[in-house]
Structure 1
Amino acid sequence: MKTLINNFIKQLKEIQDGQIWLNVSFKKKLDLLDEKEVFKRPIPKLHSVAELISHLTFWRKEAILKIKTKKGLLTDESEENWLTIEQLKKIGWKKIQADYNNSLSEIILLLEQKDDSFLYETYYDNDYKDDYKYLFLIEGMLHHDIYHLGQIGMLTKLLSVR
């Protein structure tokens, strides 16, 4: 049975470019910004949109590794978790977006090969130093995406009033 897996895939897609109850998606928010704005911090202690998208990609790649190997490598303290604006500018916004989109596609492809029983298998989490069910990981990814989507919404508003 793939009821839960298919629901998670649907949610992952809809948050990116769909019609959800919140009436907002990553695509809607990112389409409001140009390449210069994504690197700006409207308030010094806030992350830029590029930093947030890179951060989400970092954790998606870690989730991909966990799905493939039952173990991750990285932690919150990993340098790649929050690249600097200078590092991100060198990478470029188009590449940051492409990596972000590709990471979503890869997670969806991996999940499409699974059934609901996979969600109750375990992987080792380096941050929490214990085994967790994949259900925890997939739900956490959705929560993480929505959390940062809200931040991007705030950033787009702050950038538009400057």
Structure 2
Amino acid sequence: MDTLKEQIIKQLTEFYSGDPWVTENFEDKVATLNTEKALRRVPAFNHNIAEIVAHMAAWRNFVAKKLQGDITFNITDNTEGDWPNADSWEKTLNNFRQSQAVLIRSLNDFSDNKWKNPVPTRSYDFIYLVKGIVQHDYYHYGQIGCLIAAQQNTNPIYIKASNL
């Protein structure tokens, strides 16, 4: 049976560039978008794709720093740290790609006897933290999928009830 570390690394790798059960991987679906699509604003959505990807990278970096033992680094909800500037799609995408490498390396280096230790500045342990980042990735990935569909006007919410 895989260890927790192996399970999380496998899930993060499948999400990023593998064959996830839910849909295409991040590299195939999101990293192939052009700047115009990544930065486009869609009515009724609070953030564009680039902003969501920047947000995802910020929290992945938070997890990596905590795994590395950084007790002072913190992110507060609804701040610039939580939602960093995403004016450049290329920079945002590169930051996300770097977050993948750093997160995997940090997981590999994390000591297995620390999983149940509390995360500094938080009220939960490292098990909750690493499981949470996988959930966080997929939650926002779903939002990105909705934004892509809305941009293509193929989202089912645009179908008139009379056509059902």
Identity of aligned residues (%): 28
The corresponding residue for 2:80 is: 79
Shift in Å, 1:77: 3.5
Shift in Å, 1:31: 4.5
Residue 6 to residue 154, structure 1, CA distance change in 2 (3 Å): same
Residue 54 of structure 2 corresponds to residue 54 of structure 1: yes
User: What secondary structure, in the 3-state scheme, does the structure 1 residue paired with 2:77 have?
Assistant: coil
Residue 12 to residue 53, structure 1, CA distance change in 2 (3 Å): same
In structure 2, the gaps of 5 or more residues are 155-164
Q: Is residue 39–residue 50 contact of structure 2 (8 Å, CA) maintained in 1? A: yes
Q: Distance in 2 between matches of 1:4 and 1:15?
A: 16
Q: Is residue 58–residue 80 contact of structure 1 (8 Å, CA) maintained in 2? A: yes
When Rg is computed on C-alpha atoms for both structures, the one with the higher figure is: 2
Equivalence map 1:4-153=2 (5 Å): 4-31=4-31, 33-69=33-69, 71=71, 72-83=73-84, 87-89=85-87, 92-126=88-122, 130=123, 132-153=124-145
Q: Is residue 2–residue 115 contact of structure 1 (8 Å, CA) maintained in 2? A: no
The runs of at least 4 consecutive aligned structure 1 residues that moved more than 3 Å come to none
Aligned-residue Cα RMSD (Å) equals 2.1
- Choose between structure 1 and 2: higher helix proportion: 1
User: What secondary structure, in the 3-state scheme, does the structure 1 residue paired with 2:120 have?
Assistant: strand
User: What secondary structure, in the 3-state scheme, does the structure 2 residue paired with 1:43 have?
Assistant: coil
Q: Is residue 29–residue 156 contact of structure 1 (8 Å, CA) maintained in 2? A: no
Q: Is residue 68–residue 110 contact of structure 2 (8 Å, CA) maintained in 1? A: no
Shift in Å, 1:104: 1.2
Residue 155 to residue 135, structure 1, CA distance change in 2 (3 Å): same
Give the residue type in structure 2 aligned to 1:88.
Answer: A
Give the TM-score taking structure 1 as reference length.
Answer: 0.84
Q: Distance in 2 between matches of 1:30 and 1:20?
A: 14
In structure 1, the gaps of 5 or more residues are none
User: What secondary structure, in the 3-state scheme, does the structure 2 residue paired with 1:81 have?
Assistant: coil
Encode CA deviations 1:87-134: one digit per residue, 9 max, x unaligned: 422xx21111111111111110011123533322221235xxx3x210
Give the TM-score taking structure 2 as reference length.
Answer: 0.83
- Choose between structure 1 and 2: higher strand proportion: 1
Shift in Å, 1:135: 0.5
User: What secondary structure, in the 3-state scheme, does the structure 1 residue paired with 2:76 have?
Assistant: coil
